[in-house]
């Protein structure tokens, strides 16, 4: 049976699952928007310092694993020791830690504080072995099998080629179906001197390891290029792809240089009922932002020092987990659990992009900045005070509630594109306003 050739960036897994609520400073964290909200979601972790890079790729291939084959362009021929099998649980932890989140806060008794103060949250934030292909045929096609390895449950080849036509022919002759349109993309990578990392599942090794799912593949290499090849992911795609990229760096935040990096709206107060529909809310919010950037933006969902978080959707990663994701510059830090106070010296940037060939004709190119300012896509539910105390501050507070509800409705409509009339009806905003103010004589005597 001929294998289907798929780009790595179309088969990465969304590994996250919903978990229980967790406490957060000055309020409660109540939910996160994970990658499972999006179809065709890919995840990549890039740990980089100087020219050294470790990339982790998670695979979510749908179908029989004997049909799986992955191709990624890489800047150099890799030794076997530069290829590793990652732990999906660590990738899940990283995604949980950085996911957009919903938090809730509770108004205080205005009579106790006398002047209502809004809480300031600015501080938060199986391929045939190479021997089966005749060397003379490879030479005729201009294709060289630079290396071949079995790593975990994967059989891996590193290929170089003189021209895309020869590479296409070699892949076809070795049992791969090449998607239409691949030639021009392959040619552009060959012009840059890139090699091709080809992986398939070794069914015998997979059975021996008793694996139900494909584990992440990790590649370590040195290159001055700080980029991610996404164009292969558009060749056989049947629509826009979702890509989540987690950068672990030493200096600071990462941004794209050839597309606009956009911070998502954050710290917006939205109606309480969104707590039950947070997935729909965040999906539609992200779609609105994509449209506003003419489908060419790369969106920042999280930027934070790994030492701490506030509010936390999950604990920061331990030094051992970070090392497992490729953080190689922590030589003097012991592998001692998940302590919040460890000097991790790791800055995490999470970017989210929805891409297709029409709007992303170039691969993503990045740069590390010195900016260590914190940011998180965080949305706020604020519960009104429902006490019966009477004081001038309480009277003013109740009078302002209707305006606040309307602001929340308008904010929700703007963020998501939802119909404002439907939002008001769901909030019961016409009747569920501030309590009716008592008459002067009702306030005179408290029975």
| Structure confidence at residue 183 (pLDDT) | 77
CB atoms within 10 A of CB 367: 11
Q: How is residue 66 annotated by DSSP? A: G
Residues 363/368/371/372 CA torsion (nearest 10 deg): 100
| Structure confidence at residue 151 (pLDDT) | 92
| Structure confidence at residue 30 (pLDDT) | 62
Helix/strand/coil percent split, the chain, to 5:
30, 30, 40
Dump pLDDT digits (tens) for 376-414. Answer: 999 999 999 888 888 888 888 888 898 999 999 999 999
Q: How many residues does the chain have?
A: 447
- Whether 7 and 235 have beta carbons less than 8 Å apart is answered as yes
| β-sheet with 227-228: strand ranges across | 227-228, 364-368, 254-256
For residue 200, pLDDT over 80 is answered with yes
Give the Å distances, CA to CA, from 247 to 55, 168, 255: 9, 32, 10
Dump pLDDT digits (tens) for 333-374. Answer: 544 444 444 546 899 999 999 999 899 999 999 999 999 999
The rounded mean pLDDT for the chain is 81
Candidates 90, 38, 55, 93; CA nearest to 353 is 38
Q: What are phi and psi of 356, to 5 degrees?
A: -145, 175
Exposure string of 253-286, with b = 16+ CB inside 10 Å and e = fewer, is bbbbeebebbebebebebbeebeeebbebbbbbb
| Structure confidence at residue 62 (pLDDT) | 63
Pairwise CA distance, residues 299 & 301, whole Å = 6
For residue 308, pLDDT over 50 is answered with yes
Dump pLDDT digits (tens) for 225-235. Answer: 999 998 877 77
For residue 302, pLDDT over 90 is answered with yes
| Confidence grade of residue 239 (pLDDT, cut at 50, 70, 90) | confident
For residue 2, pLDDT over 70 is answered with no
Task: Check residues 209 and 83 and name the one with the higher pLDDT.
Answer: 83
For residue 238, pLDDT over 50 is answered with yes
For residue 22, pLDDT over 50 is answered with no
Q: What are phi and psi of 199, to 5 degrees?
A: -130, 145
| Structure confidence at residue 341 (pLDDT) | 42
For residue 419, pLDDT over 90 is answered with yes
| Structure confidence at residue 16 (pLDDT) | 21
Residue 401: partners with Cβ closer than 8 Å, 6 or more residues away:
384, 433, 434
| Structure confidence at residue 404 (pLDDT) | 93
Share of the chain above pLDDT 70, in %: 78
For residue 52, pLDDT over 50 is answered with yes
Specify which of 30-34, 156-160, 289-293 reaches the highest per-range mean pLDDT.
Answer: 289-293
Pairwise CA distance, residues 318 & 322, whole Å = 6
| Structure confidence at residue 66 (pLDDT) | 72
| Structure confidence at residue 277 (pLDDT) | 92
Dump pLDDT digits (tens) for 250-291. Answer: 999 999 999 999 999 988 999 999 999 999 999 999 999 999
- Predicted structure pTM score: 0.80
Task: Check residues 21 and 274 and name the one with the higher pLDDT.
Answer: 274
Give the Å distances, CA to CA, from 353 to 25, 77, 244, 369: 30, 28, 7, 19
To 5 degrees, how large is the angle CA 40–CA 42–CA 46?
A: 170
Q: What are phi and psi of 44, to 5 degrees?
A: -135, 135
Per domain, the residue ranges of the chain are 3-383, 385-447
């Amino acid at each position: 049976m001929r294998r289907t050739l798929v780009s790595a960036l179309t088969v990465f897994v969304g590994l996250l699952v919903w978990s229980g609520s967790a406490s957060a400073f000055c309020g409660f964290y109540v939910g996160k928007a994970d990658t499972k909200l999006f179809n065709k979601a890919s995840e990549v972790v890039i740990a980089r310092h100087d020219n050294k890079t470790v990339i982790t790729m998670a695979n979510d291939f749908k179908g029989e694993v004997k049909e799986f084959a992955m191709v990624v362009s890489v800047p150099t021929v890799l030794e076997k020791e530069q290829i590793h099998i990652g732990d999906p649980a660590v990738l899940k932890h990283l995604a949980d830690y950085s996911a957009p989140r919903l938090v809730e806060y509770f108004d205080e008794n205005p009579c106790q504080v006398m002047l209502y103060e809004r809480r300031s949250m600015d501080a938060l934030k199986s391929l045939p072995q190479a021997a089966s292909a005749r060397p003379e045929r490879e030479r005729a096609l201009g294709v060289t099998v630079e290396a071949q390895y079995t790593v975990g449950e994967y059989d891996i080849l590193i290929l170089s080629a003189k021209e895309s036509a020869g590479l296409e022919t070699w892949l076809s002759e070795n049992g791969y179906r090449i998607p239409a349109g691949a030639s021009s993309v392959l040619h552009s990578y060959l012009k840059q001197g890139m090699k091709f990392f080809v992986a398939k599942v070794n069914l015998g090794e997979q059975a021996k390891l008793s694996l139900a799912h494909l584990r992440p593949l990790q590649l370590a290499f040195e290159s001055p290029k700080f980029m991610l090849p996404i164009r292969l992911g558009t060749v056989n795609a049947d629509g826009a792809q979702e890509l989540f990229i987690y950068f672990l760096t030493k200096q600071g935040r990462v941004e794209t240089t050839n597309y606009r990096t956009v911070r998502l709206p954050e710290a917006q107060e939205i109606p309480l009922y969104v707590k039950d529909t947070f997935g729909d809310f965040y999906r539609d919010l992200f779609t609105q932002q994509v449209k506003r950037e003419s489908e060419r933006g790369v969106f920042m969902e999280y930027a934070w020092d790994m030492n701490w978080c506030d509010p936390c959707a999950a604990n920061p990663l331990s030094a051992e987990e970070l090392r497992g994701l490729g953080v190689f510059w922590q030589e003097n830090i012991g592998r001692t659990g998940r302590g919040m106070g460890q000097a991790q010296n790791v800055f995490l940037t999470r970017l989210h992009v929805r891409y297709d060939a029409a709007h992303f004709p170039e691969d993503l190119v990045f740069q590390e900045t010195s900016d260590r300012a914190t940011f998180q896509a965080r949305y706020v539910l604020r519960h009104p005070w429902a006490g019966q105390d009477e004081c001038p501050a309480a009277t003013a507070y109740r009078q302002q509630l209707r305006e606040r509800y309307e602001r929340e409705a308008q904010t929700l409509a703007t963020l998501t594109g939802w119909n404002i009339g439907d939002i008001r009806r769901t909030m019961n905003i016409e009747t569920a306003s501030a309590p009716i103010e008592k008459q002067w004589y009702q306030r005179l005597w408290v029975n």
